[in-house]
Chain A
Amino acid sequence: MRPGRRHLLLSLAAGALFVVALALGDQFLDSFQLRVSSLCAIYVVLALSLNLVNGFTGLFSLGHAGFMAVGAYTCALLTMTPEQKEMNFFLAPVVPWLAHLSIPFLPALVAAGLVAALIGFLVGAPALRLKDDYLAIATLGFAEIIRVVLTNTQTLTNGALGLKGLPMYATTWVVWPCAALSVAFMVFLTRSSYGRAMKAVRDDEIAAGAMGVDVFRVKVVSFTVSSFMAGVGGALLGHLLTTIDPKMFTFMLTFNILLVVVLGGIGSITGSVIAAIGVTILMEVLRFLDGPLNFGLFETEARPGLRMVVFSLLLMAVVLFRQRGLMGNREFSWSMFSRAGLARREDGRA
């Protein structure tokens, strides 16, 4: 069998296995585990979207929480029923044109992405003239502006009170297909000429321009697409937690996603997926660290936030010993196994 065909079959088998695993998980996991699983999928979407700008296009952007907030609010306001809106907006009534608007979840999810993409475009078009740390500061600033605007538009977003009682739409069969779609999109994009142009811009802007690549346009497109994905991720997160407020979308959220991208490997889709799942699970597994710790002889007080120290240590270890993260910029492929000698039988030698 040709390797190409064999790999295709292997991929199809892996895909089928993945669907079966989802079905089994959906059936047998308890609600807490399911929540963690959904959170994993959402982090995959978010990590990939940040990796698109930071890893593949080489733009140091820290504005992700802002675009997630835009997506989360858009989707929430579009899906909530008029009664829910009335209950939420008790300080000041919601703007009339939104009061009776209520659409199904999937179109609202797409709308969330589109609005986030629009904001991303409006932010990116001026900010992408900057480079490196200047761009990071500018995007960070824009994200904060978005948050402040959300806090202060009482009749549109319910301000600091946030929105409560969103319908729990982010089920396994919504979030994991979104994650799979994001992975597929990124794989096809990075293998295409457009993805190549992005990597060229990352490696050398001047040379990319000299090759006829419209550097600024590539940057804006990358930033806009990434905002779309961040908006979708934010919307999914909102509908998983069923409550959103502006305080959720601070820099800390961007930092968490950045952590995933750096640990997984900047510029690796595989790395982002593995790290998104690993970090999300670890965040929950290590939750006991935040409570009182019993060492047998003595007991410590509860120290909320102690588990984050583990991630700080992990990040330091990566910076010291494995600068390029788990995967570097390499990707998973089936031939990895044959190279490692695990698939010797298929080569017909055994």
Chain B
Amino acid sequence: MLRTENVTMKFGGLTAVSELSLEIGKNEIVGLIGPNGAGKTTAFNCITGVNAPTSGKVIFQGEEITGLPRHQVTRRGIARTFQNIRLFRELSVLENVLVGCHLQLRANLFEATLHLPGYRRRDREARAFAMSLLEEVGLAADAGEPAVSLPYGKQRRLEIARALATRPSLLLLDEPAAGMNPQESVELMHFIRRIRDQFGLSILLIEHHMQFVMGICQKLWVLEYGVTIARGDPAAIRRDPKVIEAYLGVE
């Protein structure tokens, strides 16, 4: 599904990500973990086109997408959420999701402004789809509210709904459980599994919440100072002395 080959990202003299080679199969949930500043979010940015990697390749569904502009990456089926929630503040909850439907609407300025019949039909479909996604994440009742007025947990779910609206095949979640209590993160775990099955997704996620990561991921990559120090299934990672020293701490 997604493969990165020796992706390296340098900012001046700092190597944020070094020789990262990820691999995500179809319908897999893969975790990217490591201490703060290990380069996890930078890795996300390299995959989604926010940063063009200094060297290395990103290959998605057999096609090289290294350094493509953000919207092109999304167009090919990769959607993401952000660590520091990035909602469209002044738009309503429903409109936020509708922006995600932008690709499906395929409207140019004049078609959209003149509300031509083809546009109207697609707009109606998009609205229905957006509402169904909001129901999926339990935000249907808040559809008309301004996005900023939502409490934190709902904002996170809105970000996921918005990402799903682009009809991705790979979903990247940057710390989805941040700021959630144990009860909420268990619910989130079920939710992520459910959307994976329902939408046939592959998921790559960054998370610090170890119970969450171990509970949901089939494979893990561990970064420290941009270097991959371990990879494998959760059970093996938990026992890996290097990982314990760098990240998990001695038990």
Interface residues of B (CB under 8 A from A): 48-50, 69-71, 74-75, 79-80, 82, 86-91, 95, 98-103, 105, 107-109, 112-115, 119, 123, 126, 162-163, 165-166
* Minimum distance in angstroms from A100 CB to a CB of chain B: 35
Q: Which residues of A (182-226) have their CB < 8 Å from a CB of B?
A: 185, 188-189, 192-197, 199-200, 202-204, 206-216, 221, 225
Docked CA distance A221–B48 (Å): 24
Q: Which chain A residues lie closer than 8 Å to B87 at the CB level?
A: 203-204, 207
A124 sits at the interface (CB 8 A):
no
- Identify the closest chain B residue to A222 (Cβ): B109
> What is the bound-complex CA distance between A329 and B119, given in angstroms?
26
Q: How far is the CA of A225 from the CA of B126 in the complex (A)?
A: 26
Write out the residue numbers on chain A whose beta carbons fall within 8 Å of the beta carbon of B105.
193
Q: Give CA–CA (A204, B90) in the complex, Å.
A: 10
Chain B contacts for A188, CB-based, 8 A? 113-115
Neighbour of B49 across the interface among A193, A199, A204, A209, CB < 8 A: A209
Q: Is the CB of B90 within 8 A of A192?
A: no
Q: Is the CB of A212 within 8 A of B114?
A: no
> A203 with B88: in contact, given A192-B115, A193-B105, A213-B99 (CB under 8 Å)?
yes
Q: Is the CB of B112 within 8 A of A192?
A: yes
A194/B71 in contact, CB under 8 A = no
Min CB distance, A70 to chain B, in Å?
21
A204-B69 in contact (CB<8A): no
CB <8 Å contact, B113 and A210: no
Q: A207-B82, A209-B74, A212-B71 are in contact. Are A194 and B99 (CB under 8 A)?
A: no
Q: By the criterion CB–CB under 8 Å, are A213 and B112 in contact? A: no
Which residues of chain A are within 8 angstroms of B107 by Cβ–Cβ distance?
192-194
Contacts of B98 in A (CB 8 A): 193, 196
- Enumerate the 4 nearest inter-chain pairs by beta-carbon distance, A residue then B residue, closest first: A209-B70, A192-B112, A207-B86, A212-B74
Question: Can you give 26 A-B contacts (C-beta < 8 A)?
Answer: A188-B114, A192-B112, A192-B123, A193-B105, A196-B91, A196-B95, A196-B99, A196-B102, A197-B102, A199-B88, A199-B90, A199-B95, A203-B87, A204-B88, A206-B50, A206-B86, A210-B48, A210-B86, A211-B100, A211-B103, A211-B163, A212-B75, A212-B102, A214-B69, A216-B69, A329-B90
- Contacts A192-B113, A199-B91 given; indicate if A211 touches B123 (C-beta within 8 A): no
A330 to chain B, nearest CB (A): 11
Q: Known interface pairs A193-B105, A194-B112. Does A211 touch B74 (Cβ–Cβ under 8 Å)?
A: yes
Q: Is A267 an interface residue (CB 8 A)?
A: yes
Docked-complex contact B166 and A211, CB < 8 angstroms: yes
Most buried by B among A185, A193, A210, A225: A210
Add 10 more A-B contacts to A200-B99, A211-B79, A212-B71 (CB < 8 A). A188-B113, A189-B113, A194-B112, A194-B113, A197-B102, A203-B89, A204-B86, A207-B86, A207-B87, A211-B103
| B79–chain A nearest beta-carbon distance, Å | 7
Alpha-carbon distance A308/B123, docked complex (angstroms):
46
| C-alpha gap A213/B112 in the complex (Å) | 15
User: Which residues of the other chain, B, contact A185 by a CB distance below 8 angstroms?
Assistant: 113
Q: Which partner residue on chain A sits nearest B162 by CB separation?
A: A211
Contacts of A207 in B (CB 8 A): 82, 86-88
CB within 8 Å of B: which A205-253 residues: 206-216, 221, 225
Docked complex Cα distance between A235 and B67 (Å): 44
With A207-B86, A212-B71 as given contacts, are A193 and B103 in contact (CB-CB < 8 Å)?
no
Interface 1/0 per residue, A159-200 and B, CB below 8 Å: 000000000000000000000000001001100111111011
Q: Which residues of A contact B88 (CB under 8 A)?
A: 199-200, 203-204, 207-208
Distance in angstroms from B132 CB to nearest chain A CB is: 18
Find chain A residues with CB under 8 A from B119 CB: 192-193
**Please, how many angstroms separate the alpha-carbon atoms of A194 and B109 in the complex?**
6
Q: Which residues of B contact A225 (CB under 8 A)?
A: 109
Residue of A nearest to B147 (CB): A203
CB distance from B200 to the nearest CB of A (A): 19
Give the nearest-CB partner of B75 in chain A: A212
Question: Complex Cα distance A169/B105, Å?
Answer: 41
